[in-house]
Amino acid sequence: MKNKPMSIAILPGDGIGEEITKPCVKLLQQALAKVGEAPLIERWLEAGAGAYTKLGEALPQTTIDGCRSADAILLAAMGDPSVRYPDGTEIIPQIDLRFELELYAGVRPVRSVKGVKGPLADPRGDKLDFVLVRESTEGLFASVGKGTRDELQATDTQVITRKGTARVSDFAFRLAQQRKEKGHPGELTCVDKANVFKSMAFFRDVFDEAAAAYPDITRRYGYVDAVALEMVRRPWIYDVMVTENMFGDILSDLAAGLIGGLGMAPSADIGDDHAVFQPCHGSAPDIAGSGKANPTAMFLSGAMMFEWLAGEKNNPAAGKAGRMIVAAVDDAYADGSLVSTERGGNAGVVEISDAVGAALDALEPADRRIS
Ligand code: ATP
């Protein structure tokens, strides 16, 4: 039986944004057709540096309204170093959107894809499967647009609240539980700097309070500097980690490096009522328009969107479509011949989109990865 069509706010943004959004939406529609579902209702909306130049607003109210009324939001990338606000800062409305829609849980899965060799010599480095959860509405980013600066000093203040920490900790514990049901260890690491900063000791205390409701999950702790080391030395020790906004920003790029680059790293920013799905990378202005961009992170973000919609809208077919996209990505890369330009190969947007589209086409409905 067909479910009600899902309406998606689509924000291609700047730089490589549009180049990777078009094939992504095509792939999402292809997956829905394959599971016999109605096509997505596409609502393409303007936001970003281009919108700022054209309309004088980086995140127009019509875009915010369109995001609020959609079932989910698919965002590519925003920002252009050559377009700045009068104070010199870059246009980053994707961060404003996280605040506006209270998207407090930044989910960054770090999953190796077979055939995409990571940088580590140890073979366990090519079989990674952990998730970094980044608090996305406060921390050091609470200071965006509010910091101070004069001739002698500049300040940005880190804000950690009980509400913000409790809800992201709860989210991460629930995620660890869901993963445990699928055979993962059921461990959650709190990543902080509780030995130095009051705000971070508070973060850890609130994390500990949240832990009481999840006795089935093993709690671990790591100082962010030590975790950065371990993520290079033996990242396979992690299952789920939760951390402050800025630490999460940095560690998620490090994590992307472990699985073949930013073009392979999907993400989601999830709140209680809305969610944005967006690759970890930025607008990559250095390669925009060259065709070199890797759209895989965008595809996998779309797959995460379908998985989320499956739960939110009680639409199991969407989950199936999401798992099909993941399986198609895996199949496209499996023999190692598809090598993106960021890894020194020749495959860009067209080659990778074609390969994943063909792999999706070839998937058998009975494939056990999908059911
Ligand atoms: P932001 O701060 O907005 O996240 P950033 O400063 O981290 O952005 P990116 O735009 O993510 O920068 O780009 C960092 C580097 O990674 C650039 O050299 C860019 O070309 C490369 N890169 C980013 N995304 C991709 C992609 N999808 N495919 C190939 N290369 C990419």
63 in ligand 1 pocket by Cβ < 6 Å?
Answer: no
Spatial distance between the Cα atoms of 196 and 249, rounded to a whole number of angstroms: 20
Q: Using the mean position of ligand 1's atoms as its centre, give its distance from the Cα of residue 177 in Å.
A: 32
Q: Using the mean position of ligand 1's atoms as its centre, give its distance from the Cα of residue 258 in Å.
A: 15
Q: Using the mean position of ligand 1's atoms as its centre, give its distance from the Cα of residue 107 in Å.
A: 18
Q: Check if the beta carbon of residue 14 is closer than 8 Å to that of residue 80.
A: yes
The pLDDT score that the predictor gives to residue 223 is 98
Single-letter amino acid, residue 246: M
Q: Check if the beta carbon of residue 24 is closer than 8 Å to that of residue 299.
A: yes
The pLDDT score that the predictor gives to residue 227 is 98
Q: Which two tokens stand for residue 288?
A: 């925009």
The pLDDT score that the predictor gives to residue 1 is 58
Other CB atoms within 10 Å distance of the CB of residue 149? 11
209 in ligand 1 pocket by Cβ < 6 Å?
Answer: no
Q: Which helix (H) or strand (E) holds 43?
A: strand 41-44
Other CB atoms within 10 Å distance of the CB of residue 319? 18
Spatial distance between the Cα atoms of 342 and 358, rounded to a whole number of angstroms: 22
Treating both helix axes as pointing N-terminal to C-terminal, what angle do 296-312 and 316-333 enclose, rounded to 10 degrees?
160
**How far from 154 is each of 85, 146, 148, 246, CA to CA, in Å?**
18, 11, 5, 17
**Tens digit of each residue's pLDDT (9 = 90 or more) over 258-278:** 999 999 999 999 999 999 999
79 Cα nearest atom in ligand 1 = 3
Averaged pLDDT, 162-186? 98
Location of structure tokens 């910091």: 147
pLDDT category of residue 90 using cuts at 50, 70 and 90: confident
Percent of the residues in the chain that have a pLDDT greater than 90, as a whole number? 91
**Tens digit of each residue's pLDDT (9 = 90 or more) over 213-233:** 999 999 999 999 999 999 999
Spatial distance between the Cα atoms of 207 and 203, rounded to a whole number of angstroms: 6
Q: Which two tokens stand for residue 370?
A: 């999908």
Q: Which two tokens stand for residue 95?
A: 């961060």
pLDDT category of residue 143 using cuts at 50, 70 and 90: confident
**Tens digit of each residue's pLDDT (9 = 90 or more) over 275-289:** 999 999 999 999 999
**Tens digit of each residue's pLDDT (9 = 90 or more) over 187-211:** 999 999 999 999 999 999 999 999 9
Spatial distance between the Cα atoms of 31 and 156, rounded to a whole number of angstroms: 44
Q: Using the mean position of ligand 1's atoms as its centre, give its distance from the Cα of residue 293 in Å.
A: 9
Longest dimension (CA), the chain: 66
What domains can you pick out in the chain, each with its CATH number?
A: 1-107+265-371 (3.40.718.10), 119-258 (3.40.718.10)
Q: Which residue's C-alpha comes closest to atom 21 of ligand 1?
A: 284
Question: In a 3-state reduction of DSSP, which class is residue 48?
Answer: coil
281 in ligand 1 pocket by Cβ < 6 Å?
Answer: yes
**CA dihedral (81, 293, 105, 245) positive or negative:** negative
Q: Using the mean position of ligand 1's atoms as its centre, give its distance from the Cα of residue 90 in Å.
A: 15
230, 91, 277, 249: which is closest to 158 by C-alpha?
Answer: 249
Q: Using the mean position of ligand 1's atoms as its centre, give its distance from the Cα of residue 214 in Å.
A: 37
Q: How many residues does the chain have?
A: 371
Averaged pLDDT, 117-132? 97
Averaged pLDDT, 323-328? 98
Spatial distance between the Cα atoms of 227 and 233, rounded to a whole number of angstroms: 10
Q: Which of 287, 296, 300, 353 has most ligand 1 atoms within 8 Å of its beta carbon, as the pocket-test mutant?
A: 287
Q: Check if the beta carbon of residue 76 is closer than 8 Å to that of residue 298.
A: yes
Spatial distance between the Cα atoms of 86 and 109, rounded to a whole number of angstroms: 36
Q: Which helix (H) or strand (E) holds 270?
A: strand 268-270
Listed in sequence order, the DSSP H helices in 70-213 are: 93-100, 162-181, 198-211
pLDDT at 89 over 80: yes
Q: Using the mean position of ligand 1's atoms as its centre, give its distance from the Cα of residue 261 in Å.
A: 9
The pLDDT score that the predictor gives to residue 371 is 83
287 in ligand 1 pocket by Cβ < 6 Å?
Answer: yes
Question: In a 3-state reduction of DSSP, which class is residue 84?
Answer: strand
In this prediction the pTM is 0.95
